[in-house]
Amino acid sequence: MSLVRELNHVAIRVANMDKSLRLYRDLLGGVEIRNAKVGKGHFVYVQLSEGVIELIQGEPGAANLGLQHIAFLTALDSDINTAAEAARSHGCQITVEPKLTAAGDGHLSFFKDKGGTTYEFIQRDNENIRIPGLKNERILEFDHISIKTDDESHADTESLIKKVFGMQVRRILKKPSSFASLTGRAACCLSAAPPSGDVPGSTMSYYKLGTDTIELLYAKDKPAQPGVQPIAHIAFRVPCAFEMYKYLTENGINATEPKESGLGGFYITNATGPDGEIIEFLDRCRLEDY
Ligand SMILES: [Fe+2]
Ligand SMILES: [Fe+2]
């Protein structure tokens, strides 16, 4: 029996909702699919391509801004208690026991895995806010949500996301020889560079659920650190990293100059969102099309 129906959103706690909406909605072409004020809370859901970001208005002066949690909807034939119990039996610590949502339209629970990543389970029978097949001029695909690990096998997290969330392996990138045949780079203003050799000590494993993907990222030189937010970045696949870099910087968003990926054959620019969140823009082909 599947416990989970979909990966519902990745959450970012923001200091200034208007500033975040300017980036995700106005500049990147996201569509606001829910805007809810509940008590003191203000939550805005923005869909970019097929993926969804939840922007949570932080309290004034809040220190814990940026990427927060990854949320899953429980399956219709499951429930919040069963799902939370499964997480607990996988060694997760339940940080918010199952309870009614503030709006009273469902139930939720929060929990942390051994690596410190926070997840949310939501049980809401009438949840149907995502627009299927939504196209976005600037974003080809909400490519992945990245979680850093401190273990090359990602064993604990992998077990959780496979067994409890029901995610399936989409792609594992490990050996440089896997990239020698990289051919499907998206059309871009520059020609594709040839594969450039080793990826020293990095393992990137991708797991999918529907149209959503989680990346488990182990970087030998920069493994996950205790007490540091393991949700490392969100990533969008774009037609051209150079064009995106130009567009972002012209619009006052900090971004790094595009550089060739250590995997070779495509370019990456990393932008920093208003609350310090890292947004990776890659101009590679779909993971399946290598
Ligand atoms: Fe959430
Ligand atoms: Fe990534």
CA distance 55 to 73: 17
> What pLDDT shows up at residue 128?
80
Nearest CA-CA partner of 51 in 161, 214, 165: 214
Q: How far is the CA of 184 from the centre of ligand 1 (A)?
A: 35
Q: Across residues 169-197, what is the average pLDDT?
A: 52
Where is 244: in which H helix or E strand?
Answer: helix 241-250
Q: How far is the CA of 38 from the centre of ligand 2 (A)?
A: 33
Q: Find the ligand nearest to 7 CA.
A: 1
In this predicted structure, the answer to whether residue 204 has a pLDDT above a threshold of 70 is: yes
Domains 4-123 and 141-289 share a fold: yes
Q: How far is the CA of 119 from the centre of ligand 1 (A)?
A: 8
- Cβ atoms of residues 73 and 128 within 8 Å: no
Q: Across residues 221-234, what is the average pLDDT?
A: 93
Domain 4-123 has CATH 3.10.180.10: yes
Q: Which residue's entry shows tokens 């996301």? A: 161
Q: How far is the CA of 258 from the centre of ligand 1 (A)?
A: 31
Residues sharing a CB contact under 8 Å with residue 113, sequence separation 6 or more, in sequence order: 90, 91, 92, 119, 156, 157, 160
Q: Give 7-24 pLDDT, tens digit per residue.
A: 999 999 999 999 999 999
Two tokens, residue 99: 């309870």
Q: How far is the CA of 144 from the centre of ligand 2 (A)?
A: 7
Rounded to the nearest 5°, which phi and psi values hold at 125? -70, -30
CA distance 45 to 73: 15
In this predicted structure, the answer to whether residue 192 has a pLDDT above a threshold of 80 is: no
Where is 284: in which H helix or E strand?
Answer: none
Q: Find the ligand nearest to 213 CA.
A: 2
CA distance 85 to 127: 22
CA distance 283 to 168: 24
Q: How many CB atoms lie within 10 A of CB 155?
A: 11
Q: How far is the CA of 188 from the centre of ligand 2 (A)?
A: 20
* Lowest-confidence pick of 62-71, 128-137, 156-165, 198-207: 198-207
Q: How far is the CA of 13 from the centre of ligand 1 (A)?
A: 10
Q: How far is the CA of 216 from the centre of ligand 2 (A)?
A: 8
Q: How far is the CA of 40 from the centre of ligand 2 (A)?
A: 33
The amino acid present at 161, given as its one-letter code, is I
Residues sharing a CB contact under 8 Å with residue 85, sequence separation 6 or more, in sequence order: none
Q: How far is the CA of 100 from the centre of ligand 1 (A)?
A: 14
Q: Kindly report the pTM of this predicted structure.
A: 0.91
- Cβ atoms of residues 205 and 219 within 8 Å: no
Domain 141-289 has CATH 1.20.58.340: no
Residues sharing a CB contact under 8 Å with residue 228, sequence separation 6 or more, in sequence order: 116
Q: Find the ligand nearest to 108 CA.
A: 1
Q: How far is the CA of 160 from the centre of ligand 1 (A)?
A: 18
Rounded to the nearest 5°, which phi and psi values hold at 189? -75, -15
Q: How far is the CA of 27 from the centre of ligand 1 (A)?
A: 23
Domain ranges of the chain: 4-123, 141-289
Q: Find the ligand nearest to 73 CA.
A: 1
Q: Give 133-165 pLDDT, tens digit per residue.
A: 999 999 999 999 999 999 888 888 999 999 999
* Lowest-confidence pick of 75-84, 95-104, 177-186, 267-276: 177-186
